[in-house]
Amino acid sequence: MNVGLDLDPAFVDRINVLVERAGGAASLARASGLSEGVIAKYRRGESDPSRARLVALAAAGGVSVEWLATGRRAAPSDPVAAQAEEPAALKYEMEAGFEDPRGIAMFAHADQLGPEFVLLPRYEVRAAAGGGALVHSEQVVDHLAFKSDWVRHRLRRNPAHLGLIEAMGDSMEPTISDGDLLLVDFSENKVKDNAIYALSADGDLIVKRIQRNPITGSLTIISDNPRYQPIVLEGHEAARLRVVGQVCWHGGLI
């Protein structure tokens, strides 16, 4: 859609706010599941996003859908205005989620998401905590709402870099179970000793704990389930391992 038709010229300014909050157009594209080319068109005022893309962009930038679409609601960077314009109450499907210490809530409609929440994308990807699973698609299938304050201050993460995938297999039990939802920080691609990562190995996506030997540079790939033996990667083998991101939270059924 062209600016000369229905596109609000101020929308370009709001897109640029998201780009700045995300740390660049590439980060915003990755977090929203859109291409950098599409983001560039929005920044030039050459196109208007669909409703689904609008939701994805708002989630990636940590702003409300209403503010991004119309500009009538305050951005989270303006807490005074946000408080003044915040609705008296939000209706949501699971009221208990609002009290969940993990900060998760399920909303009936995306436009009910207040500035105190961010929508994080869930990808159609299963990461094996066992023998390996192919990445069938990186398409965003839906979003989950997390409290922005919990993400930024408890997890100490930038929402623009986060996404959700599903674990498969038993090799990371009891830490991670089959079917658990994993929150991955895609900006963390350098190994920190004894942290858990989503890894790309020969086209498979796996979830493992990694220990680094600071002297030899070797990496030990560890399964928390003692039934599985550790794997040691030396030199060039360790260099070939691609870190997709660090797992910073998981949740699942009891």
pLDDT digits (tens, 9 = 90+) for 70-80: 887 544 444 43
pLDDT at residue 102, rounded to an integer: 42
Q: Residues spanned by CATH 2.10.109.10 within the chain?
A: 94-254
pLDDT at residue 225, rounded to an integer: 95
DSSP reduced 3-state for 248 = strand
pLDDT at residue 132, rounded to an integer: 54
The answer to which of 17-21, 88-92, 115-119, 250-254 has the lowest mean pLDDT is: 88-92
Query: Which position has the higher pLDDT, 174 or 190?
Result: 174
**Domain 1-86: which topology?**
434 Repressor (Amino-terminal Domain) (1.10.260)
Q: Residues spanned by CATH 1.10.260.40 within the chain?
A: 1-86
| Chain-centroid distance, C-alpha 200 | 17
Residue 160 DSSP symbol: G
DSSP reduced 3-state for 4 = coil
176 vs 8: CA distance, rounded Å = 46
201 vs 221: CA distance, rounded Å = 12
Cα separation of the two ends of the chain = 47
| CATH architecture of the region 94-254 | Ribbon (2.10)
pLDDT digits (tens, 9 = 90+) for 17-58: 888 877 788 888 888 888 888 999 998 888 888 888 888 888
Burial class (CB in 10 A: 0-12, 13-18, 19+), 201: middle
Q: E strands along 43-161, which residues?
A: 104-105, 117-128, 133-134, 140-147
